[in-house]
Structure 1
Amino acid sequence: MSSTDLSRPVTVWKEDDMVDGRREKALVAIFRTRGCHWSRKGGCSMCGYNVESLEGIGVEELSAQLQAVLERYEGEGMVKLYTSGSFLDPVEIPLEVRDRILGAFDGAKRVLFESRPEFVTPEVLREMPDHASIALGLESCSDLVLRCSVHKGFGTKDYLRAAEAAKDRGLPVRTYLLLKPMYLTERAAIADAKASVLFAAPHSESVSVNPLNVQKETLVEGLWRRGEYRPPWIWSLFEVLRTRTGAPGIRLFSSPSGAGTQRGVHNCPDCDRRLLGALEKFNFEQDVGLLEGHDCHCRAEWRSLLASEELMRTSVDVHRYLDDELAL
C-alpha cells in the first residue's frame, strides 16, 4: 500500500519567469492527480510523470493540496500550475476544484497551466479568467516524430486548433518543444527543434525548448541504459536557441531539467556550469550574443558526433560504445 500523502502536492517551489516582457517572481506547484488520460493508452515515450499519479485522488484531496500550495503563496506575480497530465481535463481536475484553484490566484498577473489540445475548446476557454495562459506540449512540428518517436497521441493540426482557440479568447500560449526525441540523431534533433521553433512562433507568446531528460520507468530510459540513447548536448541546445533571430516577437528560452547530469542535457564537467550560466542569462535577456564565443575541448567531440552519426546511420550513443571498446 502506498504511504504517499494524497493531501500534499508533489512539490512547490519559486523561480523567476517573464510576464508581458518583465521579470516576475513565480510560484510553481505540481498537483498530485490521478494522472494523464493518455498514459492509460501507453503515454509519451519520454514521460515519467505518471509515477507521481495515484488513483483515489478527488475533490477532497485536491482541495487539501490547494491549501498546502496557498501556504507558500506570497503574492507572486506569476503562478504556474502543473499536474501529471492536463489541468483542463475534468476527470483529472474536477470542475469545482479547477474553479477553486483559479479563483485562489485571482490577484496574480498571470496563471499558467498546461493541457493537451483535446481539452482546449472555445467552450472551456470562455470559463477561463482573463489572466490565464495555456501551455501546449507540441514537442515537434513533425507528425512523423510525434507519432513514431514521442507517441504523443495528437498531431500538429490538433495543436494549431487549440492555439487558435486560445488566440480567439485572447489568452497567451506557451509552447513546449522537445529537443532530441528518441531515434533521432543529434543533427536531426537540432534540425527538428529549429523547424519546430519557427512553426510554433506565430502561435505563441513564448516557446520553451525542453532537452529530453531521461525519466525513470520510461521507454527512453531503457534505450539510455543500453547505450542506445544519449541526452542532447548543450552545444545542440545553443544551436536551436540561435533560432531566436528568426522568430522575433516571442520569448525563446530553455529551463532544462537534470541539466549537467548524465540523464539531462550536458557536455562535459569542464564547461557544463559555465554554459548553463550563459543559458540562464539568455533566458531573460534574449541576447543571442550570450550564446556565442564559448569553447571547450568537448566541442570537437560534439562536431565529430554530428558527422559520425550520419555516416553510421545510427542514433545510438556512439562515443559510449567507442569508450567501451577502448576499455576492453
Structure 2
Amino acid sequence: MQEQKTNGPLKGLKIVEMAGIGPAPFCGMLLADLGAEVTVVERPAALRSLNTGDALNRGKRSICLDLKTELGMRAVTALINQADALIEGYRPGVMERLGLGPAVFEASNPKLVYGRVTGWGQNGPLAHAAGHDINYVALTGALSVASRAGQAPSLPATLLGDMAGGALFLALGLLSALLESQRSGRGQIIDAAMVDGVGCMSALIHSLRGTGMWPDAPQHNFFLHSSPFYDSFECADGRYVTLGAIEPQFYAELLQRLDLQDVDPQAQFDTRQWPALRARVAARIKAKPQSQWQTLLEGTDVCFAPVLSLEEAASHPHNLARGNFSRIDGKLQPSAAPRFSRSQLRPAQAGTKPGADTEAILRELGLAS
C-alpha cells in the first residue's frame, strides 16, 4: 500500500490489530485516521470469516500470518512487543489459547495497552455466549426506547452496539490507558463490552427518568413517537422528513411555518392534545413532497432535516461543504472525524488488501526468508 503521510495527533503511536469484524477494525480505522500506525494481523484466506472492506482498512498496513507456524508466532510476537497497544475482538480466552494473551507480554512489553472488545465483556454469565449488536442493545434496556406503540423495537444496524458502545469506548479506553502509561510506565487491559458502553450511553435517559422527566408511557413522552413536534413524518411522495422542535421558541416557529396559528404554543406539553394535533401536522406534511419541505423548512429554527438515503446524504450541500464523504474507486466512504485546528487527519483512501504488506513487515522484523 502507498503510505499517506500524516501529522495527525496520534502520529508515532504503534497499534497491532488482530483482524476481525465490527468494532475492532472500526476502532483501528479511527486510530489510523488520527495518525497512528496500525498494522492488521490477518489470517490466511481460507481462515477468514469476512473481509471488513476498503473503508475500515484505510490507513493501515496488513500482514498475513499463519499463527499455527513458528514463523507466524515469531512475527506476531515481535510486532506486539514493538507496539504501544493491541486491539482484539475475539471471544474471551481465544487470544490465550493462541499463546498471545496479555500475560505473555508483561515482561517483554510492560507498557503494552491490551484492548479487548466483546459484546458481553470478559466475564459474567453471558461472557462466552454468541451475540450481535441487537442483542447487546436489548440487554441494556436501550432497545426498549426505540419503539412505536404496537410495533416491535428497531434500531439502525451496527451503529449503537458495535460502533458506539464497542469501538468508541474501546478507543476511549485505549487512549486513556496510553496517557496513564506515560506516567506509570505500565500498561493494562481494557475490557470494552458493548453492553457496558451502550448502558453508559443511556445515562441521560436514566437521569431524566430519575427526575420524572422521562415517562415510560409513550403517550406522554415526546421522544417515543407520540408528539406532533418530534418524529418522522411522511410526505406526499412517500419520502420522510424529521421534526425536532422541542424548545418553545422552535415549536412556535414550527406552528407558524405549518400555518397552524390557531394552536396555542403554550400548550405544547399538554399530552391530551397531542393525538389530534399530531394528525393535523401529519396531514400538513403529507400535502407536499419532501423537496418542497426542504425548501420551506431547511435551515430554519424548526429543527428540520429530510430522511436521506446513504447515497443522497453524500450529496447534501451541508455534507459537501464539510467534506463529510469521499468517493474512492467509485465507492463512498465517510471522512475522518473529529476535526483539529492544527493536526491533519488522513484523507479517505482505498484500504490495504489483506496481507499486502507481509513481505515488507517481515523484512522490518528481520524475519524475511
Work out which of the two has the higher radius of gyration on C-alpha atoms and give 1 or 2.
2
TM over 0.5: no
TM-score normalised to the size of structure 2? 0.27
Larger relative contact order (CA 8 Å, sep ≥ 6)? 2
TM-score normalised to the size of structure 1? 0.30
